[in-house]
C-alpha cells in the first residue's frame, strides 16, 4: 500500500534508529503528543530501539481521553431522555460516571456510530421527528468536519440537530506541559494530522519561549524515527525550531479552507481537559451565530451533572506524561480494556490501551 508500506520498512527504521543513537551524545527526553504515535511506538517497539539515548514520553493527544467526564455524562443524559446520540466509535466504551454509551444502547438508548458529523446532520434532516445530537469531540483534526456539519444544518434551518461540543486545541496543552515547573520534556513531536489542518505557526512561540524543538511528525514507524532524529539533531546543536517531518501532509499554513471553516463556526475558549484541568484557550465552542445548534443551550438542564471520577485511576498523570501506564496501581488489576476505569484504557489512541496491547502482554523471543 503506497504511503504506508514504505514508512513501515524495518531496515529503514533500524538504520534511522542507529543514526539517532550515534548522533546523541547524551540522553534526551522527547514527548510524542498524539496517541496514534504512542500506539505506533509501542506496536513496533520503537522505544526499545532508542532507549539507550532517548526516552519517549507519551502526551495528551487522545481526544477521547481528554473529553471531560461531565460531557460524557451529559451525552448519557441526552440518550436517557430519548435523543439519538451520534458519535465517533471510539467514544462508545469510555466509562461515564455510571456507565458507558454502549451500556446506554443496551438499555434501549439510541446511540449510533458515524464516520462523519455530516451523517448525523443528514439523519436529522431525513427524520425531523428525531432529536439528533452529535457528540463533537476531538482535536483540530475533526473540528473542520464538525464545522461543515454545523454550517450545513444552519443553512437548512434544521430544528432537531444539535452539537454537544467538547473540541480541544493542541498548542495550549503543549504550552501548559512545557510551562509546568516539573516538566521533563526537552522536545515535542507534534501531531502530524493536527498540523495538516492548522499548520505550524502556533508552535513558534512555544518553541521560542521554552527553548524546545517541535517537530510536526507522522504516525508510521519511519515517520516517528525521522521526527526523533530531527529533534535530536536540534537538541545536539542547541537549536529550538519548529520543523516539519510529515512533509507529505503538512504545510506551514496548514489547510486554509479548513481553518477558515473552523474560524467561522468556532471560537477559542478555556476548556477543562479530563485528567489535566482547565487549559487556557484549550477548547473550541460554537460562536453566537451557531448558538441554536448548541445542545447545552437547547437542553439547559444538562448543565447539572455531578461527575464522579474513579479514585484509583491516574489517567491525568498518564496524559501529562508524568507516569507511564504500568505505574498506575489500577493498571491491569482493577482496570483492563474489558473493565476500564479511565478513557486511556479504551481509546484506540489511549496510552494505557497501547501498553496493554503491545507491552503488558510482551513475550520474550
Partner 1 sequence: MSQPSCPLPIEGDRVTLAHGAGAGASARLFEELLWPQLANPALGARHDGAVLEAGGARLAFTTDTFVVRPLEFPGGDIGSLAVHGTLNDLAMCGARPLALSCALVLEEGLPLSTLSRVIGSLAGAARAAGVPVATGDTKVVERGKGDGIYVNTAAVGLVPQGRALRPDRVRAGDVVLISGPLGAHGAAVLSVREGIAFESEIRSDSSHLGDLVEVMLEVAPELHCLRDPTRGGLGAALHEIAAAAGCEIEVEEDAIPVDEPVRAACELLGLDPLFLASEGRCAAFVPEADAERLLAALREHPLGRGAARIGRVADGAPRVVLRTGMGARRLLLLPAGEPLPRIC
Question: Of 109, 325, 342, 344, which one interacts with partner 1 (CB under 8 A)?
Answer: 109
Q: Which stretch binds partner 1 (CB under 8 A): 133-141, 253-261, 265-273, 315-323?
A: 133-141
Task: Count CB atoms within 10 A of the CB of residue 323.
Answer: 17
Task: Give yes or no for residue 36 binding partner 1 (CB under 8 A).
Answer: yes
Task: Give yes or no for residue 256 binding partner 1 (CB under 8 A).
Answer: no
CB of 14: closest distance to partner 1 in angstroms?
Answer: 8
Residue with C-alpha cell 479514585? 311
Question: Of 22, 26, 115, 157, which one interacts with partner 1 (CB under 8 A)?
Answer: 115
Question: Of 52, 89, 236, 326, which one interacts with partner 1 (CB under 8 A)?
Answer: 89
Residue 78 CB-density burial (10 A; 0-12 exposed, 13-18 middle, 19+ buried) = buried
Task: Give yes or no for residue 334 binding partner 1 (CB under 8 A).
Answer: no
Residue closer to partner 1 (CB basis): 48 or 201: 48
Residue with C-alpha cell 443528514? 122
Q: Which stretch binds partner 1 (CB under 8 A): 101-109, 202-210, 226-234, 248-256?
A: 101-109
Task: Give yes or no for residue 43 binding partner 1 (CB under 8 A).
Answer: yes
Task: Give yes or no for residue 81 binding partner 1 (CB under 8 A).
Answer: yes
Task: Give yes or no for residue 268 binding partner 1 (CB under 8 A).
Answer: no
Residue with C-alpha cell 467538547? 166
Task: Give yes or no for residue 306 binding partner 1 (CB under 8 A).
Answer: no
User: Any long-range contacts for 267-274 (C-beta under 8 Å, 24+ apart)?
Assistant: 268/169, 271/68, 271/166, 271/168, 272/68, 272/70, 273/60, 273/66, 273/68, 273/168, 273/173, 273/319, 274/65, 274/66, 274/67, 274/68, 274/69, 274/315, 274/316, 274/319, 274/343
Rg (Cα) of the chain, in Å, rounded?
21
3-state DSSP call for residue 221?
A: helix
Q: Strand pairing partners for 273? A: 277
Task: Give yes or no for residue 221 binding partner 1 (CB under 8 A).
Answer: yes
Q: Which stretch binds partner 1 (CB under 8 A): 19-27, 139-147, 175-183, 300-308?
A: 139-147
- What residues have CB less than 8 Å from 122, skipping those under 6 apart? none
Question: Of 64, 228, 231, 315, which one interacts with partner 1 (CB under 8 A)?
Answer: 64
Residues forming contacts to partner 1 in the complex (CB under 8 A) are: 1, 4, 8, 10, 13, 36, 43-45, 48, 63-64, 80-83, 88-93, 98-99, 102-109, 113, 115, 119, 131, 137-139, 141-142, 193, 221, 337-338, 346-349, 356-358, 361-365
Amino acid at each position: 500500500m503506497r504511503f504506508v508500506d514504505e514508512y513501515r520498512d524495518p531496515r529503514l527504521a533500524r538504520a534511522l534508529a542507529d543514526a539517532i543513537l550515534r548522533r546523541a551524545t547524551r540522553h534526551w527526553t522527547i514527548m510524542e503528543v498524539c496517541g496514534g504515535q504512542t500506539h505506533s511506538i509501542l506496536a513496533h517497539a520503537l522505544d526499545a530501539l532508542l532507549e539507550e539515548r532517548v526516552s519517549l514520553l507519551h502526551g495528551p493527544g487522545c481526544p477521547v481521553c481528554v473529553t471531560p467526564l461531565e460531557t460524557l455524562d451529559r451525552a448519557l443524559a441526552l440518550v436517557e431522555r430519548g435523543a439519538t446520540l451520534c458519535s465517533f466509535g471510539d467514544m462508545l466504551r469510555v466509562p461515564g460516571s455510571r456507565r458507558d454509551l454502549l451500556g446506554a444502547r443496551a438499555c434501549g438508548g439510541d446511540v449510533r456510530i458515524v464516520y462523519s458529523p455530516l451523517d448525523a446532520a443528514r439523519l436529522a434532516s431525513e427524520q425531523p421527528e428525531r432529536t439528533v445530537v452529535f457528540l463533537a469531540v476531538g482535536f483540530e483534526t475533526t473540528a473542520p468536519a464538525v464545522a461543515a456539519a454545523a454550517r450545513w444544518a444552519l443553512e437548512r434551518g434544521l430544528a432537531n440537530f444539535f452539537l454537544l461540543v467538547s473540541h480541544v486545541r493542541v498548542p495550549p496543552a503543549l504550552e501548559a506541559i512545557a510551562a509546568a515547573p516539573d516538566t521533563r520534556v526537552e522536545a515535542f513531536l507534534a501531531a502530524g494530522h493536527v498540523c495538516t489542518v492548522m499548520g505550524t505557526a502556533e508552535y513558534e512561540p512555544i518553541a521560542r519561549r521554552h527553548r524546545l524543538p517541535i517537530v510536526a511528525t507522522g504516525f508510521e514507524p519511519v515517520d516517528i524515527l525521522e521526527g526523533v532524529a530531527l529533534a535530536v539533531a536540534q537538541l545536539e546543536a542547541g537549536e529550538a525550531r519548529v520543523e516539519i517531518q510529515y512533509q507529505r501532509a503538512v504545510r506551514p499554513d496548514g489547510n486554509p479552507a479548513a481553518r477558515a471553516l473552523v474560524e467561522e463556526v468556532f471560537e477559542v475558549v478555556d476548556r477543562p481537559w479530563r485528567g489535566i484541568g482547565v487549559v487556557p484557550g484549550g477548547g473550541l465552542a460554537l460562536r453566537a451565530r451557531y448558538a441554536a445548534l448548541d445542545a447545552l443551550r437547547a437542553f439547559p438542564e444538562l448543565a447539572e451533572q455531578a461527575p464522579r471520577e474513579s479514585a484509583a485511576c491516574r489517567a491525568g498523570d498518564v496524559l501529562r506524561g508524568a507516569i507511564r501506564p504500568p505505574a498506575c496501581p489500577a493498571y491491569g488489576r482493577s482496570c483492563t480494556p474489558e473493565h476500564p476505569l479511565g478513557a486511556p484504557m479504551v481509546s484506540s489512541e489511549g496510552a494505557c490501551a497501547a501498553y496493554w496491547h503491545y507491552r503488558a502482554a510482551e513475550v520474550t523471543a
